[in-house]
Amino acid sequence: MKNNRKQVQFLLRSITDDVPQLLLEENNLVFRNELKEDILIPFSSITSIKILPINRIYNPSVGFLKDGMKGLLAHRNAGIFSIYFNYFVDLNVDTTTNTYLFESLDLENASRFILKLNENIKIVDDVNLIDLFKNKSTNELKEYMDKHYKDWAKKYNLENPRTTLDESMVRLAHNKH
């Protein structure tokens, strides 16, 4: 688990999907993997938690190829074949024995999860995401991040973008930003 970032759904309640989940329980974070195996991270063992925004290149044609028309229409630039950025949250959890690195699978669930987690444990939030989560809708937040992520990336040394796409897609995205 050390230095191996996991993409997970940040949730306040477990869901039946086979997607990896990070759950918030009364005194624990629980990482539930694809096999439904749970790793408990007791609050008492946590020495720090840090959040940072990240972005990934998204091309709607990828959604179309993966999920058909449903995938094509399931984002804010529905039907437009262009490159844009999806935003997520990295959650870095340091404990007395390990470091756990998570990336959210969406912004909406992540914002609710982070706000609730921050009630229990003080989160290191250099970019002030928590204030944005409190004061902006998900769409407003995405628009705000569209405007500010490039500056954050420089200031906080963030990946811009984090991606697995080929270099030509990365170059095109950098030119768009």
Strand pairing category for 99-104 and 46-58: unpaired
- Per-residue model confidence as pLDDT tens digits over 39-90: 999 999 999 999 999 988 766 554 444 444 444 455 444 445 556 678 999 9
| DSSP count for the chain of H helices, then E strands | 5, 7
**Residues forming beta bridges with residue 21, ordered by sequence position:** 9, 32
* Residue closest to 158 by CA, chosen among 148, 168, 166, 167: 148
- Per-residue model confidence as pLDDT tens digits over 115-151: 999 999 999 999 999 999 999 999 999 999 989 998 9
Instruction: Say what the pLDDT of residue 35 is.
Output: 84
Q: Structural domain boundaries of the chain?
A: 6-176
Token pair of 166, please? 């080929």
Task: Give 91-142 as a DSSP string.
Answer: EEEEESS-EEEEEES-HHHHHHHHHHHHHHSPPB-TT-HHHHHHHS-HHHHH
Triad 8, 109, 148: Cα angle to 5°: 95
> What pTM was estimated for this model as a whole?
0.77
Please name the residue that has the structure tokens 């989940």. 21
Across the range 107-121, mean pLDDT stands at 94
